[in-house]
Structure 1
């Protein structure tokens, strides 16, 4: 199957996306690497400029949340990382870029590719009637005198079912091809993703990263499929023991936390944890 998949057109991507025609300052396409996020974080420490883009045809050690790793076949998916240096935004608000990235991929894949897509808090894109995972977003801060964030986006495009590993919590995986998406052109998807990301990030940056004034938190709520679901949250281990919280996901607050209403009626804000969707609250007994 790999031999039949088209390679990305690096020169065409640069012509559309690099200044002066586009909003980005540098763009490279690698044939193979361990992780575009790792590579771009290293470049950030060496002074790479704002809006540097790194894309790989194949990743052998891609990274997700909680240090999880994953591998994708060559030319089957999209693996892109963007270096952002949000001047004027407090470092404490940099974490919102992961959720901003989620809003961007939901909008582009839902619109351009015609798939039914929602976000699973905080960073997974679920598509189709089975709500299977098609995309993940990861933001990693890079400290220093000129702090940065590397925002990584991974999209399953052409993968067959046997090429997709099951995610944490038994989350079923899928690809755009398996969902019958209207667009499987990786070049076109990349251009739309990066243009939409530029627009959304500039709007957020113009408001000093404020999620309320920029409209980001409200846009996130509108496309977050976790809201209204009965959920089980595996909380970060304390003292070596796993802790779980069950309830109904009611809101994403202005700090980006998932608010879960438990059986005793208390509202618990969750800033970190693995969320499993159980079933809609409306179907609860």
Structure 2
């Protein structure tokens, strides 16, 4: 558990690890929950734990994460106790490997719904799984597969900016719940709500064999602000694609129609950035 004795910033109290565990473990649907004061990456820690037998639905939360991981090996960090940095281990028994790509999108839907309901902010998704408020990024999500036997396990990490001030933002295009005027910035209820929403959604998705047609795909599309926008897609090899984002297919891929009417189907691994055209 995190050491609560050394904190001094009264505006950023530590999480109540014992209360969180009582609320979320077993009766709350999670198998284990640990809060640590500091780590490099909660995703890296849980990937290693998965390989050594950690149970399905294990949660790891860090008060400070020094080398958090994002897409394309980017790093993510924030001041201690200024955000939520957490990862969950999911052993998705009964779900085809081909459907695991929906897990980060599912997590994005869960984050958006919690921020809208609990924090009362107008959060949306930018494909594939960035969470935006007013066009600025407030949360990011990364899913990574651990090679385990007999089935793969997936670690889904979430980084949410809660109380960061303007001079603490990692990039100018970011924001935090405090800066966005959120109705709630207390990390304990935010974390409880997020884990409950994520747990409920993942349980329902798993029970349906990972079939996104069971409601997840529709829910994702309804929250995705990328759809219908003219976009500039930056590709890993340095090229660009200009066009309109016309739909998300049943595999969670973005379909962009270029100026010649040709439709390009893009998976998350095929792109580096999706930006609105002209930005």
1:277: Cα distance to partner? Answer: 1.6
Whole-angstrom distance in 2 between the partners of 1:95 and 1:269 = 15
Match in the other structure for 1:200? 201
Match in the other structure for 2:55? 49
- Is 1:105 the equivalent of 2:107? no
Contact 1:246 1:262 in 2 (8 A): yes
Whole-angstrom distance in 1 between the partners of 2:123 and 2:160 = 13
Written as runs of structure 1 = structure 2, the 5 A alignment for 1:1-285 is: 3-4=9-10, 5-19=12-26, 21-128=27-134, 131-145=135-149, 146-166=151-171, 172-212=173-213, 214-237=214-237, 242-271=238-267, 272-273=270-271, 274-278=273-277
Q: Normalised by the size of structure 2, how large is the TM-score?
A: 0.93
1:278: Cα distance to partner? Answer: 2.5
Whole-angstrom distance in 2 between the partners of 1:218 and 1:235 = 26
Whole-angstrom distance in 1 between the partners of 2:264 and 2:224 = 18
**Alignment RMSD, CA only?**
1.4
> Does the C-alpha gap of structure 1 residues 209 and 2 become closer, same or farther in structure 2, counting only changes over 3 Å?
farther
Q: Normalised by the size of structure 1, how large is the TM-score?
A: 0.92
Relative to its length, the structure with more strand (as a share) is: 1
Whole-angstrom distance in 2 between the partners of 1:84 and 1:254 = 22
Question: How many pairs were matched up?
Answer: 268
The unaligned stretches of length 5 or more in structure 1 are 281-285
1:94: Cα distance to partner? Answer: 1.0
Contact 2:43 2:157 in 1 (8 A): yes
Contact 2:242 2:277 in 1 (8 A): no
The unaligned stretches of length 5 or more in structure 2 are 1-6
1:279: Cα distance to partner? Answer: 6.5
> Does the C-alpha gap of structure 1 residues 70 and 160 become closer, same or farther in structure 2, counting only changes over 3 Å?
same
Whole-angstrom distance in 1 between the partners of 2:228 and 2:186 = 34
Ranges of 4+ aligned residues in structure 1 off by more than 2 Å: none
